Each structure stands twice: as structure tokens, then as C-alpha cells.
């Protein structure tokens, strides 16, 4: 079973034309005859021949995971950059103010991090939920 390419995180990518593309991914489906092409494009949720499949939700879950890990790294870097700030800035209220706003920012960034982590799970569950209903969606598919 072919795996869809992982979502691109290139910032510039967003500014480049992106086309919806159809990939051929052989899928085991209890339908006779027609080969099903599941449309998916790298980095974007594209259409499916089913009303809803696990594809885009699972992919979104992956993005949430990426963002979660990325934020962890960013917070570590931020902490690192403030190490030793106290020495060499003694007597300057800017330095102490900077220090004092850090905890609020840590809270904000942590909250985002936690949200990404929980979304990773939630989105995957939604994906599974839809995929499990595949016989239901199959019935609703009109030719």
C-alpha cells in the first residue's frame, strides 16, 4: 500500500501554485470492478471519492504532531537564549522586565504545545472514526 508523501512544511511552498492532484493508491475495497483512486496531494487535504475518509484527518493529526515537536524545540531554544541574561545586564529594568514576562510567554507557548498534542490524538481518532464507517460511506457514495 503506497503511503502518501509527508506534508511539506516549507513556508515558501504556500506561495507557490499548488494543484489538486489525484494519486493512485490501491485500496482494498469491497466493490467490484472500478479501481478507486484516492486523491491526496502532498501537504494538502485533497478530495476523495468517498464523502469522508481517514486520509485528511490522519494527515492533519501528523501536522499537529509536527507542530507539537517544533514548539518543544522552540521553547528549549528560547530558554537557552536567556541563560545568563542576568549577568551583563545588572541594573537595567529592561532585563528584569524581560525576565518577568517570560513566565506568561512560557504559559502561552506551553498551552499551544499542549493543544497540538491533544489535537494530534483527537484528529487521529476522528480519522479512525470515519474510516471505521467506511461501509456507511460506501452506501452513501453515488455513481
Partner 1 sequence: MDMRQGAERADRILDGTLKAIVPPVRWVHGTSISGLCSGSSTTGQVTRQRTVLTIISPERRGNFFGLVERHWKSSGYHITGNDPGKTFPSLYATAPGEYRMSLQIGDKGQAFFDVTTPCLDKASVPDPASDQEAPRLQDGEIPYPNHTSDFWSAKKPLPS
Partner 2 sequence: MVTIDELTRLDTSKFSTAAKSWGEISRKASAARQRVDYEMVAALSKREKGEAASAALSDLRQLSQNYQYIHTECGLVRTALDGLAADLAEPQRKLQQALDHAEQLKFTVRSNGSVEFPRVSFDQLPAPALQQPAHPDSAPPLTAATDPNAAKAQEIADRIASALREAGEIDRRYAEELGKLRTNGNLKNTDWADVARDLKSLQAVRGDSAKELAERKGKPPRENARWWGEKSKEEQERLASLFPGEIGNLDGIPAETRDRANRDYLPMLMDKLREDGSDDAETKLAGLRGLSEKLTARNDPPLLLLGVGDEGHGRAILSYGNPDTSKNVSAYVPGLGTRLDADFADGTVARAQQTASTARRYNASTASVVWLGYDAPITGTDQGWNNLDVMGEGRAKKGAPTYDRFLESIRATNGNEHPHVTAIGHSYGSLTVGKASQEPSGIPADDIIILGSPGVGVDKAEDLGVGKEHVFVGAADNDPVSWAPSKRDTILGTGGVLMGGALGGYVATELFGDDKNWFGTDPASKEFGAQRFKVNDGPAPLIHGDFMPAHSRYFDPSRDPESAKNIGLIVSGHSKEITRMAPR
Q: What is the DSSP string of 66-121?
A: HHHHHHHHHHHHHHHHHTT-STT-TT-HHHHHHHHHHHHHHHHHHHHHHHHHHHHH
Distance separating alpha carbons of residues 26 and 3, to the nearest angstrom: 10
- Burial of residue 11, with CB atoms counted within 10 A of its CB: 0-12 exposed, 13-18 middle, 19 or more buried: exposed
> What minimum distance in Å lies between the beta carbon of 70 and partner 1?
20
> Which of partner 1, partner 2, none is residue 6 near (CB under 5 to 8 Å by kind)?
none
Binding partner of 139, given partner 2, partner 1, none, CB within 5-8 angstroms per partner class: none
Position of cell 541563560?
Answer: 83
Residue closer to partner 2 by CB (options 129, 138) is 129
- The binder of partner 1 chosen from 3, 27, 30, 45 (CB under 8 A): 45
Contact pattern from residue 93 through residue 132 relative to partner 1, giving x for each residue in contact according to CB under 8 A and a dash for the rest? ----------------------------------------
CA angle, 28 then 46 then 65, to 5° = 90
Q: Which is nearer to partner 1, 7 or 102 (CB)?
A: 7
CB-CB contact of 47 with 73 (8 Å): no
Q: Looking at residues 10 to 49 of the shown chain, list those that interact with partner 2 (rule: CB under 8 A).
A: 11, 14-20, 43-46
Based on the shown chain and the rule CB under 8 A, indicate whether residue 37 belongs to the binding site for partner 1.
Answer: yes
Q: Which is nearer to partner 2, 30 or 90 (CB)?
A: 90
Amino acid at each position: 500500500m503506497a503511503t502518501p508523501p509527508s506534508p511539506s512544511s516549507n513556508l515558501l511552498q504556500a506561495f507557490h501554485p499548488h494543484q489538486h492532484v489525484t494519486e493512485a493508491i490501491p485500496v482494498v475495497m469491497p466493490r467490484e470492478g472500478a479501481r478507486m483512486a484516492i486523491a491526496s496531494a502532498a501537504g494538502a487535504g485533497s478530495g476523495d471519492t468517498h464523502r469522508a475518509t481517514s486520509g485528511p484527518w490522519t494527515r492533519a493529526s501528523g501536522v499537529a504532531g509536527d507542530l507539537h515537536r517544533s514548539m518543544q524545540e522552540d521553547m528549549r531554544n528560547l530558554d537557552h537564549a536567556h541563560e545568563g541574561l542576568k549577568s551583563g545586564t545588572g541594573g537595567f529594568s529592561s532585563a528584569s522586565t524581560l525576565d518577568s514576562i517570560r513566565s506568561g510567554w512560557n504559559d502561552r507557548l506551553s498551552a499551544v504545545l499542549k493543544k497540538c498534542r491533544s489535537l494530534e490524538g483527537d484528529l487521529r481518532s476522528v480519522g479512525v472514526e470515519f474510516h471505521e464507517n467506511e461501509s456507511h460511506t460506501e452506501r452513501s457514495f453515488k455513481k
